[in-house]
Amino acid sequence: MRSPNRQAMDRISLPAEPEALDELVDYVQTLSAMGGLTRTRAHWLRLAAEELIVNIITHGHRDRPGEVELTGGVEPGRVWLRLVDSAPPFDPTAYEAVPDLERPLGEREPGGLGVYLARTVADQIRYEYVSGRNQTTIIMNRV
């Protein structure tokens, strides 16, 4: 069966707490199936989505209550997933910290890896700050 050219997922809202990750994974897996992503590309979408939502929950909301809204859809050439949150502005596309890749593991500081990984494995990440909310969109090509 061919995957549809255009389709949208229902919008859902998740509490900004670690347990939301399971629901995010379900959402992303449904979206990947809808868009007919290959196994590897579905893996990268899940990875980018986890890294960005964990960043929002742990650094954006810092244990303060809040919500992360998810929308997603399929277009002719790509699949997109958008995370919207009300944490302080954070633009992952402008985040400069790149881990020192040549440094031995034993000497590394933990952290700084998640946003770097998301940027590396996603085909594109777009960011906008609109009406006091971060809108972060992950785009994966349907190749």
Partner 1 sequence: MSFNAILTHDGSTALIKLEGELDALTAETFRREVERAAEAAAELLVLEMSELSYMSSAGLRGLVFARQKLADDVRIVLVGANDAIEQTIRLVGFHHSVDFSDAIPE
User: Residue from 19, 63, 64, 96 that binds partner 1 (CB under 8 A)?
Assistant: 19
Q: Does 106 bind partner 1 (CB under 8 A)?
A: yes
Give the integer Cα–Cα distance in Å for 79 and 81.
7
The alpha carbon dihedral of 49, 55, 61, 62 has a sign of positive
The yes or no reply on residue 132 touching partner 1 (CB under 8 A) is no
Q: Are 118 and 97 in contact (CB under 8 A)?
A: no
CB contact set of 107 (below 8 Å; sequence gap of 6+): none
Sites for partner 1 among residues 57-96 (CB under 8 A): none
- Contact assessment for residue 52 and residue 67, using Cβ atoms and an 8 Å cutoff: no
**CA distance linking residue 135 with residue 6, whole number of Å:** 21
Per CB under 8 A, the segment of 7-15, 71-79, 108-116, 122-130 that binds partner 1 is 108-116
Check residue 133 for interaction with partner 1 (CB under 8 A): no
Interface residue with partner 1 among 68, 70, 121, 122 (CB under 8 A) is: 121
Which residues are near partner 1 by CB under 8 A? 18-19, 21-22, 25, 40, 43-44, 46-47, 50-51, 54, 99-106, 108, 110-111, 113-114, 116-117, 120-121
